[in-house]
Structure 1
Amino acid sequence: MGRISQMQCICCFLLDRPQTSRTEVHHVRVGHGGAQRAGDFCTVPLCADDCHRGKNGVHGDQTYLQILKMTQLDLLNATLERLYG
């Protein structure tokens, strides 16, 4: 998670736009109950005030995921490609 927190927001990177707030680590939530989250390996970097907790972010209406035509698992894949690719 330390390396993830040092990365650029994966949504901002994929949308080719500048990141305007600090990076937070988001635990991907797919196939889990509402109170459950994936393990620490399944994390992505998201900017705090927009792509993470913002109105259009993953904890909002997920507009950015719709624009990218991606799921949270796709964001995880893109993050892993940036880390290891």
Structure 2
Amino acid sequence: MATQEEKNYMHAVARLGCICCRNTLFKATPAQVHHKRKGIGKGQRASHFDTMPLCPDHHLYGSDAVHKNYTAFVARYGTEEALIEQTRREVEQWRSQFVGNGGPL
């Protein structure tokens, strides 16, 4: 079960819009939260802080979706680690825009 802090973080991640769409098409599309897969055992989930926002196409359904063709995803968009680091910076920047710097949540 996610803590309130984790829920707030994942909410902020999803609000950013798909990181792949933003990095390649310069537009935000509605996003789902993707948990890091690399280095995580089967049946386990990464920390809720090891996440990035992906639209359904980049997450599950597209020909280069992270869950469908991991190798193609990494070749086109970069590693999960790099995209997660970018997401962390963007969440921090987004939250800093609010009074008290805690974000709206």
TM-score (norm 2): 0.68
8 Å CA contact retained: 1:19, 1:47: no
Q: Can you give the 5+ residue segments of structure 2 that lack an aligned partner in the other structure?
A: 1-9, 94-105
Moved over 6 A (4+): none
Whole-angstrom distance in 2 between the partners of 1:40 and 1:32: 13
Corresponding residue of 1:24: 32
Corresponding residue of 1:5: 14
Percent identity (aligned)? 33
Q: Can you give the 5+ residue segments of structure 1 that lack an aligned partner in the other structure?
A: none
Higher helix share: 2
What amino acid maps onto 1:30 in structure 2?
K
Query: What CA deviation, in whole Å up to 9, does each residue of 1:17-51 have, x standing for no partner?
Result: 5455x310011112111211111111110001x10
Higher strand share: 1
Equivalences, count:
82
CA RMSD of aligned residues (A): 1.7
TM-score (norm 1): 0.81
The 1:42/1:32 distance shift into structure 2, 3 A limit, reads same
